Structure 1
Amino acid sequence: MEKRKLEVADLFKLQSVTDPQLAPNGKEAVFVKTHIDEEDNKYIANLFHVDLESNEVTQWTHGKGAISSPEWSSDGKQIAFLSDREEKNQLFILQARGGEAQKVTTFEKGVSGFLWSPCGKKIWVDAVVKEGKTFTDKEEKDEKKKPQPYRATKMKYQMDGAGLLPQDTYKQIGLVDIETGEVTQFTEGNFQHGLQAISHDGKKLIIGVNRKNNLDFEFRQPLIIVDVETKEETVLVDEEGYFGGAQFSFDDRYIAYVGSDRSFENATHSSLYVYDTEDGMRMNLTESIDAPVGDAAVADHQQGADAPSAVWTKDNYLYFQLSTMGDIRLYFASLEGELYPATPENEHVYGYDISVDGEFALVAVSNAINPGELYKQTIATGERQAITSFNATYLEEVELVEPEAIVYKGATNWDVHGWLMKPAGYVEGTNYPLIVEIHGGPHAMYANTFFHELQLLAAQGYGVLYVNPRGSHGYSQEFVDAVRGDYGGGDYEDIMAGLDYVCKENSWIDTNRLGVTGGSYGGFMTNWIVGHSDRFKAAVTQRSISNWISFFGVSDIGYYFSDWQIGADMTDVDKLWEHSPLKYAKHVETPLLILHSEKDFRCPIEQAEQLYITLKSMGKETEFVRFPDANHNLSRTGTPNLRIARLDEITGWFAKYL
């Protein structure tokens, strides 16, 4: 059977398999499967169960909403999960032997997260509570409520995806009695508390909280061990940087957590730490690896992929994700300092759980030509058995292009890693246009994972080049830090050197038909490129930065990100302007399509407005498309019809000019 080419609307056919959770008996598991409902224009996520002895997969929930964060009770008889089936995320419990899910909470503002108490009769929750109110207090509904002014007194007053932040609400931790529904508030004070972990004996909680009154320049979240009975606190970690994902070992002696200090601001590699509660000592288990712990991949398919920071076995071994050379691999660590990969190269492990005895792992795995499925992997041999095959029919019907990995010399003679895709249906001796894709971040990475947008461009007859220039994660600390203070310098050279390299090595590339696109930092770089080179015949800039001076005051992160990344604030506007693509608008000769979301608070739409009007006033060839009710994450989690419209705009522009 001849395969068809991938289409924009295939977003509605692809299935996302995430969040495997093993039962305590190691013989069964649950996971989440998400698909996009075209008719309802929404994401639908349901809970599935697998019997690991028979490999039988059964759908356990059938709602039209999205469920997330499934977790087994310690006796394996119940599964708790969050569901937005009634708008706000609430906590539900399902009996493992069948029956309807029981709704446990009816909080006014929903539930943010939860942890089972080991007794199985109570559940710890964290949720937003209005000052002076309780979890269950209802707000008065006034149908004729008049608009009210918003007073900002702090710099962190808005956030992408949330908009203006409420000034009088705080995340608190509480304990829910499953039988009675009674909720007891555990934390107090006007601070944001985050639930991290509970010890296996149920006596200790780990919470994250910063109790400073003004958090504008606070870039830390202390982790605190709290005695459940006495509320006595012991500091686990309190230093600059982000630390989280705490997990108790089975004997409750050790606590693993992941984090990064501020040595290189937000470019600092994350490490895996272990704290010994007996002697108070802390070990950095990944100190010898020059790569970040966690998942730094950018892609547009996996929905709600939420992997644990680390998982213990009963023998006090640890498993965790590591982003390295375009892979996200599962790694093993011992307290004695042993470290080695537990999964192979050339793939993206985006979800996992480990059996208590360390015999096998459940891994959710994708690669460039597989959207992702769930596998059972024997740790000792690496042997894998497929558990799910939701995308099997799709893969039989659709032609996907396998990228070729490349390594070339970038600026300062450093090795730069990337991939080149030939057009789908490539015919030897034919010339094809090429599109360069640039990722956001910049501290993220393209990876060996399925990427619908890249496959779509290949399906429409384009070669696709995507690389990890300096600033990208997954390589050395020196490499990821090298972009800071040098936006538009070595990073620009790395990307253009990659283009030179593939054009020289591949005679099929028509160098008169080159396109470039990218979002966020990739949008900044697209803007920069067209202001510094006329090699491209078409460009699409998305959710971009054009002016660092205004970005400082309008972005939800601008007032510190500009300093961290450009090395300048409003006391040095000359440097901010020097690195602003808008300064070079008069040099733009490339037809430029500008795409931007109306509710993007990360790179606000005024960045696009300035660029568009400036280019138009200079008589440049440009168009501007605005996406209503969309934020910075449009390409990944945006409203489905707008995601389709965005892809149609990109492919339409390239079709017109290439």
Structure 2
Amino acid sequence: MRPDQLAELRIPSDPRVAPDGRVAFVVTEVDLAEDRYVRTIWLWDGHRARRLTRGPGDTAPRWSPDGRRLAFLRADDGVAQVAVLSLEGGEAETITDFALGVDELAWSPDGGRIAVVATTWTDEWDGLDAAERRRRPRRIDRLPYRADGRGWTHDRRRHLWVVYPDRTEDPLLVTPGDFDESQPAWSPDGSELAFVSARHATRGLDPGNQVWTVPAIGGEPTARVEVGIWSHPSYDPAGRLHVLGIPDPDRHPDVAPLWRLDDDGVPVCLTGHLDRSHVPFVPPIAPAGPRWLDDGAAFLTVEDRGTIGVLHLDADGEVTRIVDGPRVVTGIDPLPDGRGAAMVVTTPTRPGELWWWSPDGERRLTRLNDDVVAEALLVEPRPFTIEHDDGVVVDGWAYLPPGDDPVPILLNVHGGPATQYGYGFFDEFQVYVEAGYGVVATNPRGSSGYGSAWMRAVVGRWTEERPPDLVDLLAAVDAAADAFDRLDPERVGVMGGSYGGFATVRLLAADHRFRSAVAERGLYSWTSFAGTSDIGAWFDRAYLRMDPVEGWATRWAASPLAVAHRVETPTLVLHSEEDWRCPIEQAEQLFALFVKKGLETAFLRFPGEGHELSRGGSPRHRIERFEAILDWHARHLR
């Protein structure tokens, strides 16, 4: 696959099934001439899939309970509002006008109301024009005060509102106050809403939050569970509240099973025995809660050893895997009776397509990417394992170009670290294979998809000379070269973003076998990250287990910058200027050290981009990024 073929991909997401079996879903395409993405709502009507809305910023389709109307988010001017389209004819009508837009929406069970999460200015900043907002000094009294992908957050709040599709009543603010809310869910009788909000004294200093309920007409919210790390509240048909998450806010990272919240406030774990998580956080995979059926059963996605499959959880708590195999399900929504479900499925050689699942089998409903699949060079991964002397076994995959000639090794390190590589479509690997590299990927200790102990194996270990993840990554190069004769162990490059950038510099300092490196959007100094990142107030304590006020020696000892003087490999440093997850000061420090050391290096800065450049940055920037990476590796590995 060539970098420019990004513009040929059509990526489906967020499938939603109407009561009669029709499926609404989002398709994202690239408009390279305008350097933008075009997102439209499509409809599969039982016979064919067709574009339903014009875009360019239509997302989040949600059926009314009777299936006659479709609500969605429309962002014509970059600010999303709720639009409602009658499937019986006519144009979509925009029904909201919030200053900073709407992020989420959910129909009430009777179809007469829609709960939304809308962002509005705080009193101090409301009514100011754009010039005055740019000029005014910012008085900040809390952490965090900005977020990656969103920018400043101290001057606005995300609140829960109820709006009316027929616009007969004004929008109702359900949750006023100095807090933010998200993820609304209606009770079956429509009398209350559940939502997620951090309102505890140490909010912002830890990843904790709570699930709350509030009368749908407004009132005092009630906390339904103690502070933990919770997401995706939902009600089963009997009105019992469920949530995904981790009950201990100091337990990040960990698997996030499904819990039932009984009236006594004590959560009951329903899927903890699986030792797997239901909330993958890698775009375009949308973290999804349970999809409830009329009989009290539910469909749930599950991460497992490089795959994402689907589970059926019956009303008695029995779990059956109904979708598995070497693939990744990025979204699923069933009929209320469970006799069918729409899902978006991706494999290493097939960008996402819409599929229909039933107890009798599966069938593909769309062929959005047939042309690019036919034209591009797309190769299947070849699995291998890394077997350590202590019995630890690590999964790995090699992507090899066609032919028999020796090829350079390009070790890729994923972000997170609590994410996973595996059996989904990943344009990065296919681009590097097209360029003639043997791509090696692995899920070292610290990754998700392998259970709690695996995910937490790196916690408190990064001050060590060779922590478990570093051992696994170095061993992956050797194991891949042993398994596949074409991989040339004398020509090895390494690259990674976020945690992958962090790991890349640590690998370069620990082992000088690498001839080329790209360190991207990485965390290089825990010392400054603690004060500049949007998660810096708690992420260091989660992984380093140090005192948040006095733990500076531990922060520095775990920093790649502390050992970067040992690096001898030519290294391209790549970063986005509006990255608030790993702010660009991280890359500035690393690049400055490399220049002072006399290392062959370059610094590529992307204006206007955030942490998600490689996945969601502007199309031109994504292509230019690929070209820069390929040029760097070609100069040192070819």
The structural deviation recorded for 1:183 is 1.5
Question: What pairs up with 1:467-478 in 2 under 5 angstroms?
Answer: 467-478=442-453
What is the TM-score of this pair, normalised by structure 2?
0.95
CA distance in 1, matches of 2:88, 2:271: 41
Are 2:23 and 1:44 equivalent residues in the alignment? no
Question: What pairs up with 1:20-39 in 2 under 5 angstroms?
Answer: 20-25=15-20, 27-39=21-33
CA distance in 2, matches of 1:145, 1:217: 27
2:121 to 106, 121, 130: 130
CA shift digits 1:148-196 (9 cap, x unpaired): 1112211212222222323354524233352336222222222213352
Cα distance change on mapping 1:157 and 1:369 into 2, 3 Å: same
CA distance in 2, matches of 1:579, 1:195: 35
CA distance in 1, matches of 2:388, 2:530: 30
CA distance in 2, matches of 1:146, 1:337: 54
Are 2:542 and 1:550 equivalent residues in the alignment? no
CA distance in 2, matches of 1:576, 1:199: 45
Which range moved further: 499-508 or 90-99? 499-508
Are 2:328 and 1:336 equivalent residues in the alignment? no
Q: Which amino acid in structure 1 is aligned with residue 229 of structure 2?
A: Y
Are 2:426 and 1:451 equivalent residues in the alignment? yes
1:242 to 218, 226, 229: 229
In structure 2, runs of 5+ residues without a counterpart are none
1:104 to 85, 91, 95: 95
The structural deviation recorded for 1:256 is 2.5
CA distance in 2, matches of 1:56, 1:439: 37
The structural deviation recorded for 1:513 is 0.9
Cα distance change on mapping 1:339 and 1:628 into 2, 3 Å: same
Contact 1:121 1:179 in 2 (8 A): no
Contact 1:173 1:193 in 2 (8 A): no
Are 2:346 and 1:346 equivalent residues in the alignment? no
Are 2:216 and 1:262 equivalent residues in the alignment? no
Q: Which amino acid in structure 2 is aligned with residue 578 of structure 1?
A: A
2:494 corresponds to = 516
Cα distance change on mapping 1:475 and 1:146 into 2, 3 Å: closer
CA distance in 2, matches of 1:91, 1:503: 53
Contact 1:19 1:69 in 2 (8 A): yes
* SS of structure 1 residue aligned to 2:620: helix
The structural deviation recorded for 1:276 is 4.9
Contact 2:175 2:218 in 1 (8 A): no
Which range moved further: 279-288 or 411-420? 279-288
Q: CA RMSD in A?
A: 2.2
Cα distance change on mapping 1:412 and 1:476 into 2, 3 Å: farther
1:95 to 86, 95, 98: 86
* SS of structure 2 residue aligned to 1:614: helix
Question: What pairs up with 1:181-580 in 2 under 5 angstroms?
Answer: 182-212=170-200, 215-228=203-216, 231=219, 233-239=221-227, 241-250=228-237, 252-262=238-248, 265-276=251-262, 282-296=267-281, 298=282, 302=284, 305-306=285-286, 308-378=288-358, 380-381=359-360, 383-410=361-388, 412-423=390-401, 425-427=402-404, 430-487=405-462, 488-568=466-546, 569=548, 571-580=550-559
What is the TM-score of this pair, normalised by structure 1?
0.92
Q: Which amino acid in structure 2 is aligned with residue 80 of structure 1?
A: A
Which range moved further: 184-193 or 100-109? 184-193
Contact 1:108 1:138 in 2 (8 A): no
CA distance in 2, matches of 1:111, 1:572: 39
Are 2:593 and 1:614 equivalent residues in the alignment? yes
Q: Which amino acid in structure 1 is aligned with residue 9 of structure 2?
A: L
1:12 corresponds to = 7
CA distance in 2, matches of 1:493, 1:144: 53
CA shift digits 1:414-438 (9 cap, x unpaired): 1101211112x222xx211110000
2:606 corresponds to = 627
Which range moved further: 604-613 or 221-230? 221-230
CA distance in 2, matches of 1:339, 1:87: 42
CA distance in 1, matches of 2:570, 2:326: 36
Contact 1:404 1:421 in 2 (8 A): yes
* SS of structure 2 residue aligned to 1:537: strand
The structural deviation recorded for 1:257 is 1.8
Are 2:568 and 1:589 equivalent residues in the alignment? yes
CA distance in 2, matches of 1:14, 1:413: 42
The structural deviation recorded for 1:275 is 3.5
CA distance in 2, matches of 1:528, 1:142: 43
CA shift digits 1:57-92 (9 cap, x unpaired): 2211123x2211111111111000001113210010
The structural deviation recorded for 1:584 is 2.1
Cα distance change on mapping 1:515 and 1:121 into 2, 3 Å: same
CA shift digits 1:24-44 (9 cap, x unpaired): 23x312111111110111111
The structural deviation recorded for 1:126 is 2.0
CA shift digits 1:508-545 (9 cap, x unpaired): 11111110000011001111111111101101100112
The structural deviation recorded for 1:218 is 4.7
CA shift digits 1:530-573 (9 cap, x unpaired): 11111011011001122222222222222321121122345233
CA shift digits 1:195-236 (9 cap, x unpaired): 521123212211223334662325322212223358465542
Q: Which amino acid in structure 2 is aligned with residue 284 of structure 1?
A: C
Report how many aligned residue pairs link the two structures: 633
The structural deviation recorded for 1:132 is 4.8
CA distance in 2, matches of 1:43, 1:363: 22
Contact 2:15 2:26 in 1 (8 A): yes
CA distance in 2, matches of 1:290, 1:213: 31
Cα distance change on mapping 1:117 and 1:505 into 2, 3 Å: closer
Contact 2:15 2:25 in 1 (8 A): yes
CA distance in 1, matches of 2:266, 2:542: 31
CA distance in 2, matches of 1:426, 1:74: 54
Cα distance change on mapping 1:446 and 1:83 into 2, 3 Å: same
Which range moved further: 267-276 or 647-656? 267-276
Are 2:54 and 1:59 equivalent residues in the alignment? no
Contact 2:200 2:209 in 1 (8 A): no
Q: Which amino acid in structure 2 is aligned with residue 253 of structure 1?
A: G
Cα distance change on mapping 1:567 and 1:143 into 2, 3 Å: closer
Q: Which amino acid in structure 1 is aligned with residue 321 of structure 2?
A: P
CA distance in 2, matches of 1:172, 1:474: 33
Contact 1:295 1:350 in 2 (8 A): no
* SS of structure 2 residue aligned to 1:657: helix
Contact 1:549 1:577 in 2 (8 A): yes
CA distance in 1, matches of 2:130, 2:539: 39
The structural deviation recorded for 1:147 is 0.9
The structural deviation recorded for 1:464 is 0.5
Contact 1:514 1:538 in 2 (8 A): yes
Contact 1:285 1:333 in 2 (8 A): no
Q: Which amino acid in structure 2 is aligned with residue 377 of structure 1?
A: W
CA distance in 2, matches of 1:21, 1:180: 27
The structural deviation recorded for 1:481 is 0.2
CA shift digits 1:459-513 (9 cap, x unpaired): 1111010000000000021111011111251110001111111112222111111
Contact 2:5 2:372 in 1 (8 A): no
* SS of structure 2 residue aligned to 1:357: coil
1:3 corresponds to = none
* SS of structure 2 residue aligned to 1:93: strand
CA distance in 2, matches of 1:329, 1:144: 50
Contact 1:196 1:244 in 2 (8 A): no
Cα distance change on mapping 1:129 and 1:412 into 2, 3 Å: same
